[in-house]
Structure 1
Amino acid sequence: MARRNSGTGDGRFSTATRLRLLGEQTAARVYRSQTKRQARRSRLTGRAAFLALVVCSLVVALAYPMRQYVSQRGDVAEQRERMADAEQQVERLRDEKARLQDDMYVRRLAREHLHYVLPGETGYIMIDPEAAEQRRNDEGSADRPWFSNVWEGVDDADRD
């Protein structure tokens, strides 16, 4: 006993009309929710783009100072190492200065390096013939005593 709407104004619609109205309402709801989502998505996209722009600006703005900071930290570390080396050298030189204040130490250095002898002593230098020949063949005169270089120069001048 389905009734059909014959237009009598009883307020009831036919099933097809009801389905059509229901479909239109559903479509309108879906459209509204999609536009809200798109509006929300476009706002988020705009916010995200602005945030990305701000982050990129900060990275670009901070890149050079950070590079300078890291470079200067390396320079500071290098200078600290040089300062520590210099302090060690100063300490060694102070020790050497203190030793040079001792007359016995100075005499020992003069005997070892300059082959000094005290009055009344006779100094001897023993030369190994093979070592002398080898030294003569070697071009480097830095590891010989200074007086050997002087006498060699005199001998060379005498030969010419």
Structure 2
Amino acid sequence: MAVKDRDRFSTTTRLRLLGEQTAARVYRSQTRRQARRSRLTGRAALLALVVCSLVVALAYPMRQYVSQRAEIADLQRQKQQAKERVEQLRDLKARWQDDAYAEQQIRQRLHYVMPGETGYVVIDPGAAKRSRLDLVAARRPWYWNVWDGVDKSDASAQ
């Protein structure tokens, strides 16, 4: 027994036991860390899955929202253009209410002359190059050209 007791209290035996205990402690702590890491990895995977699900779930509504906002902006632009066109037409209507403007437009567009005035038709020098029918149409009064257009459209309908 004395040898065993001496062996038990020897420095070598104590160092070996101390090394084994330390190795066991290190192994246990590594096992705990690995267990902790695997739990964090599972949590991270679950979190990533939830985030991806949210992104997928919100992608289509966000796309719809963006496209609807673009459509709203386009409609507002069209509305503004329509308002501007209405204002232009109101101005034009107001101008046509003025007798002087109406008379000016009638004289210019329809070649009307007032009683006592002499009307002149100036033929474009380039008109000689056009066909004879165009020359005849250019020399005739405007209402004859309108009536010919009505006759032609009536003939094509039959």
SS at match of 2:117: coil
Structure 1 position 135, deviation (Å): 4.4
The residue aligned with 1:127 is 123
Corresponding position of 2:137: none
**Alpha carbons of structure 1 residues 108 and 25: separation in structure 2 relative to 1, 3 Å:** same
CA RMSD, 1 decimal: 2.7
Q: Which moved more, 1:10-19 or 1:97-106?
A: 10-19
Cα deviation per residue 1:49-101 (whole Å; 9 max; x = unaligned)? Answer: 01000000000000000000110111011111101100100000110111111
Which residue of structure 2 lines up, in the alignment, with residue 62 of structure 1?
A: 58
In the aligned structure 2, how far is the partner of 1:42 from the partner of 1:90?
Answer: 71
CA distance in 1 between partners of 2:6 and 2:75 (Å): 100
Query: TM-score, normalised to structure 2's length?
Result: 0.79
Structure 2 stretches of 5 or more lacking a match? 135-140, 153-158
**AA partner of residue 70 (structure 1):** V
Q: Tell me which residue corresponds to 1:31.
A: 27
> AA paired with 2:104?
R
- Deviation (angstroms), 1:133: 2.3
Question: Which one of the candidate residues 9, 16, 21 is aligned to 1:20?
Answer: 16
2:74 equivalent among 72, 78, 86: 78
Percent of paired sites with the same residue: 62
Name the amino acid aligned to 2:112.
Answer: Y
Q: How far apart are the structure 2 equivalents of 1:40 and 1:134?
A: 98
Question: Which runs of at least 4 in structure 1 moved beyond 6 Å after TM superposition?
Answer: none
The code of the aligned residue for 1:106 comes to A
1:143 maps to what in 2? none
Q: CA–CA distance in 2 between the matches of 1:63 and 1:148? A: 65
User: Relative to total residues, which structure has the larger helix share, 1 or 2?
Assistant: 2
Q: Are 2:47 and 1:51 equivalent residues in the alignment?
A: yes
Superposed counterparts of 1:68-107, under 5 Å: 68-107=64-103
Aligned equivalent of 2:36: 40
Cα deviation, 1:95-135, whole Å, max 9, x if unaligned, reads 0111111111111000011111112212101113x311244
| Residue ranges of structure 1 left out of the alignment (5+ in a row) | 140-145
Q: Distance in 2 between matches of 1:113 and 1:10?
A: 134
Q: Residue 11 of structure 1: CA displacement?
A: 9.1
Q: Secondary structure at the match of 1:6?
A: helix
Contact 2:107–2:113 (Cα < 8 Å) also in 1 = yes
